[in-house]
């Protein structure tokens, strides 16, 4: 690069620039040099940062001679010694239901992971609940839409529409239900060992303790009003539950068809509030696993919550991707894996996940999920949206013309085109 004095020597004599033009030329030269220098400094600084990060994982540097929770660290080695590609301090992307307090009652229990545990998760909250055989989650309704998957056992669910028609059905492990906000509903464990299920709500600050209950509506309405409304005497009002029931034991119900016959013309048959995902064919199946996508396109009542039920084989991975329309809330049902989430400003965090853990990915953040265990991973991807969407990194690169891809990736075209040339969703080992 020529010096500015050499540039000015070439512009003397006839037709030479004015003083103002020289001043401008000098300023532009200095700025260009500064930018070039900044680029070199930035590249050097990045290289130094990467070297330092790698050095911090060698020798005695990562050792911890002080106290450690060894059991917890064994479950999450990526938090204890993160890969050198992690950077900055993004918000938490991991929590576990096993760290939350259970509300224990006769007939079952419940606990939850909400915005209080994952502060960035303002769109989705989750509740894990158990009902013994015959036990009820009391008739109730709430402010948020409810999506659910049966994890074990069987249950009978009911929901009443504002038009007075009621939908009632029995569901088993792997099946789903959906209750719109404000629609009163119930859940009852069936024969055998009852059931356990995951509830997902389209409201990050949702609390399972903050629902509208049949018992409380009656207990906190003056008895004379109840008498005027129902015709029940004060003595009969005194026999009603004086406080919430919430979860409580009861007798097993009779056959489903008996309840449906009782409803007669008030049985809802058009809107389906359950979805038999356990018998659904995979939306996508590869050597790396399979995924079942359930949203409003195949489960029409699910207008505010979409889902993907993902199975990944050992060594396989959910390809690098992001979701352009909404954040992702995960629930891990089975297996062991790890996920890296990459945000803006180069912030990146890697965490390990096990059964009963919750993961969170901010909207549009790049991520993958890798099976690091010896058995299949099964986990849920949950979204506050009517329609599932994702963008594949491999597919995007494949659609770039050669020169565009090479300019950005700094790799030979032959190397670039070795990557998968379409969306795979799930990649094998």
Distances (CA, A) of 156 to 136, 177, 190, 232, 328: 9, 11, 7, 29, 29
Exactly one of 208, 370, 381, 424 is catalytic; which is it? Answer: 381
- Token pair for residue 248? 């409580």
Mention every residue, 6+ apart, whose C-beta is less than 8 A from residue 423.
319, 392, 394, 395
- Token pair for residue 187? 């859940």
- Token pair for residue 273? 């509030």
The secondary structure of residue 92, as a DSSP letter, is P
Picking from 409, 420, 386, 425, the residue whose alpha carbon sits closest to that of residue 302 is 386
- Token pair for residue 7? 């540039």
Asked if 369 and 333 count as a contact pair (C-beta separation under 8 A), the reply is no
* CB environment 155-185: b (16+ within 10 A), e (fewer): bbbbbbbeeebbbbbbbeebbbbbbbeebbb
* CB environment 96-114: b (16+ within 10 A), e (fewer): bbeebeeeebebbebbbbb
Q: Which residue do the tokens 């409201």 mark?
A: 203
Helices (H), 56-193: 70-75, 77-80
> Residue 382: enclosing H or E segment and its boundaries?
strand 377-383
381 counts as catalytic? yes
Do the bridges between strand 247-248 and strand 136-141 make them parallel or antiparallel, or are there none, so unpaired? Answer: antiparallel
Report how far residue 249's alpha carbon sits from residue 107's, in angstroms, rounded to the nearest whole number: 5
Residues forming a β-bridge with 370: 317, 338
The secondary structure of residue 19, as a DSSP letter, is H
Residues classed as catalytic: 381
């Amino acid at each position: 690069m020529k010096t500015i004095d050499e540039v000015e020597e070439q512009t003397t004599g006839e037709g030479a620039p004015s003083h103002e033009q020289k001043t401008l030329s000098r300023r532009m030269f200095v700025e260009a040099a500064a930018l070039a220098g900044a680029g070199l400094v930035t590249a050097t600084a990045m290289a130094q940062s990467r070297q330092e990060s790698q050095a911090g994982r060698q020798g005695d540097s990562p050792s911890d001679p002080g106290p450690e929770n060894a059991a917890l660290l064994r479950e999450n080695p990526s938090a204890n010694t993160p890969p050198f590609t992690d950077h900055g301090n993004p918000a938490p992307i991991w929590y576990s239901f096993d760290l939350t307090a259970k509300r224990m009652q006769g007939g079952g229990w419940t606990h939850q992971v909400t915005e209080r545990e994952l502060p960035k998760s303002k769109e989705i909250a989750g509740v894990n609940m158990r009902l013994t055989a015959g036990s009820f989650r009391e008739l109730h309704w709430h402010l948020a839409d409810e999506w659910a998957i049966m994890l074990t056992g069987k249950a009978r669910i009911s929901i009443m529409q504002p038009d007075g028609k009621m939908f009632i059905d029995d569901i088993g492990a792997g099946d789903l239900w959906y209750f719109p906000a404000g629609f009163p509903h119930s859940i009852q464990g069936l024969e055998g060992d009852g059931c356990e299920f995951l509830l997902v709500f389209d409201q990050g600050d949702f609390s399972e303790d903050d629902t509208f209950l049949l018992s409380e509506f009656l207990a906190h309405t003056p008895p004379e009003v109840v008498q005027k409304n129902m015709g029940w005497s004060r003595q009969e009002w005194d026999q009603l539950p004086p406080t919430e029931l919430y979860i409580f034991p009861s007798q097993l119900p009779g056959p489903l068809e008996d309840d449906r016959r009782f409803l007669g013309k008030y049985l809802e048959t058009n809107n389906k509030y359950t979805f038999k995902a356990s018998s659904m064919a995979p939306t996508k199946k590869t050597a790396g696993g399979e995924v079942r996508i359930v949203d409003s396109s195949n489960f029409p009542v699910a207008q505010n919550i979409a889902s993907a039920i993902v199975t990944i084989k050992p060594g396989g991975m959910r390809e690098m991707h992001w979701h352009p329309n909404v954040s992702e809330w995960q629930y891990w049902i089975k297996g062991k894996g790890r996920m890296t989430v990459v945000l803006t400003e180069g912030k990146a965090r890697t965490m390990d996940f096990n059964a009963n853990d919750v993961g969170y990915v901010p909207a549009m953040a790049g991520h993958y999920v890798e099976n690091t265990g010896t058995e299949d991973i099964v986990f849920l991807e949950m979204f506050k949206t009517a329609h599932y969407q994702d963008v594949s990194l491999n597919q995007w690169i494949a659609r770039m013309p050669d020169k565009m891809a090479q300019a950005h990736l700094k790799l030979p075209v032959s190397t670039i085109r070795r990557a998968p040339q379409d969306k795979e969703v799930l990649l094998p080992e």
